[in-house]
Amino acid sequence: IAAVDGLDTPSAVHAFLHIDAEGALETARAVDADRAAGVELPRLAGVPIGIKDVLVTQGLPTTAGSRILEGWIPPYDATVTRRVREARMPILGKTNMDEFAMGSSTEHSGYGPTHNPWDLERIPGGSGGGSAAALAAFEAPLTIGSDTGGSIRQPASVTATVGVKPTYGGVSRYGAIALASSLDQLGPCGRTVLDTALLHEVMGGHDVMDATSLDEPVPPVVDAALEGARMDLTGVRVGVVRELSGAEGGFQDGVKQRFEESLERLRGMGAEVVEVSCPSFEYALAAYYVILPSEASSNLAKFDSVRFGIRVEGATIERTMAATRAAGFGDEVKRRIILGTYALSAGYYDAYYGSAQKVRTLVQRDFDAAFAQCDVLVSPTTPTTPFKLGERIDDPLAMYLNDIATIPANLAGIPGMSLPAGLAPEDGLPVGFQILAPAREDARLYRIGAALE
């Protein structure tokens, strides 16, 4: 109860869009009462949590960071929300995000940006900047994020926290407001690898409500985290992805330095570090920015002024729809809808969407070849430490480039983790270390991550 007390105090970080102090306290009190009565409780009972506003929460406002959903209160829970409730975790509230999870800085939120607790002038990453900043500011011990191209891992990197994108299908997407359905994956965010594993266990597992949900148990992530903290890494082969490690330029010196130090520590624990090459990663970002807008333009068609959120009346229903979408969507969302509908239109489909899907296959093959030689692949999570708020807002390409190292994992559906790798010497800001594993081998991330931590 102490942990959720004083929640209503406004914070300069602005990690939360909505705070439910009453609801959280009610859950906390019920857990305390059951504990006092000797009732057996789930492992994380009473541990408060913040939920990214992309997940629907029955009775709690859900906007996905968009003005178009202002005032909408979902009549049902996402599967992950339900699992969090069943785990008896008090829900502190909904965390801020770029509108519909499009962005790398949380500046595209319809409700104002989140600030990085390490330096309030800097971005907390995105799209899940709120979930990461809440952890770094000690406003929540655990949060949930969604990762379509890096929105869990990149915010973790720039706030010195831990974030995991599970294998595609490992966590149900039912009730998660879709950005790009073939890339989206929900995942846990925490301050330690073990905390993150404990939440992964609550969130994961098969769900009949999601047709892409893997029909198998949650990987043994908690055991792996415990094992990683105890055992050395003899026999583990770690592949440094040449194309993602800054060898080709564009990476900040301090990022490269901390990355090299992490490799040294892995070697010190007995791991063998080798270099691997994934040549088609050069085209991954371009392919992603065709596939994502294409899927997003289709997913966002449901915001039509009739079913959810705001409504701006026009003379005809078409005009009402157009006026509502014009008023409700922000610039980045409009940019991507236009890009996506263009890429999918007759005559251009093969040239853009078709080519992008071919690149996607090549990226998957590159990963297969690399994992044939290594147990895990590693890279810096982001090329730079957090940049200043406002610095890239008018330059979409510079903003997109921040995701260069995180996007390939989404194209291939494999799991990835970002964990802190120290502060860059030149600016004293957080650097992230990324670990990638083959599909369904999420446990490896936790083993190596816990060993490094």
Nearest approach, Cβ of 127 to ligand GLN (angstroms)? 4
Nearest approach, Cβ of 325 to ligand GLN (angstroms)? 20
Q: How far apart are CA 56 and CA 74, in angstroms?
A: 6
**Cβ proximity to ligand GLN, 131 vs 324, nearer residue:** 131
**Cβ proximity to ligand GLN, 31 vs 329, nearer residue:** 329
The mark string for 145-184 relative to ligand GLN (x by CB under 6 A, - otherwise) is -xxxxxx---------------------------x-----
Query: What backbone phi and psi angles, to 5 degrees, belong to 36?
Result: -65, -30
Does position 129 bind ligand GLN by CB under 6 A?
no
Q: How many residues bind ligand GLN (CB under 6 A)?
A: 15
- Report which DSSP code applies to 106: S
Helix, strand, coil in percent for the chain, rounding step 5: 40, 15, 45
**Cβ proximity to ligand GLN, 104 vs 172, nearer residue:** 104
Does position 435 bind ligand GLN by CB under 6 A?
no
| Residue with smallest beta-carbon separation from ligand GLN | 151
Does position 77 bind ligand GLN by CB under 6 A?
no
The mark string for 310-349 relative to ligand GLN (x by CB under 6 A, - otherwise) is ----------------------------------------
Nearest approach, Cβ of 102 to ligand GLN (angstroms)? 5
**Enclosing H/E stretch for 226:** helix 221-230
The encoded tokens of residue 310 equal 């705001």
Nearest approach, Cβ of 58 to ligand GLN (angstroms)? 23
Question: Is the N-terminal amide bond of 127 cis, ω within 30° of 0?
Answer: yes
Residues carrying an active site annotation: 52, 127, 151
* Nearest one of 97, 173, 92, 158 to 382, comparing CA atoms: 158
Does position 103 bind ligand GLN by CB under 6 A?
yes
- Report which DSSP code applies to 3: G
Does position 106 bind ligand GLN by CB under 6 A?
no
Does position 127 bind ligand GLN by CB under 6 A?
yes
Q: How far apart are CA 152 and CA 145, in angstroms?
A: 6
**Enclosing H/E stretch for 197:** helix 193-203
Nearest approach, Cβ of 414 to ligand GLN (angstroms)? 15
Nearest approach, Cβ of 343 to ligand GLN (angstroms)? 15
CA–centroid distance for 234 within its chain: 31
Q: Going edge to edge, which strands form the sheet with 430-436?
A: 16-19, 91-95, 49-52, 142-146, 186-190, 162-165, 416-423, 430-436, 376-380, 237-241, 272-276
Contacts of ligand GLN in 181-240 (CB under 6 A): none
Give residues in contact with ligand GLN (CB under 6 A).
101-104, 126-127, 146-151, 179, 292, 403
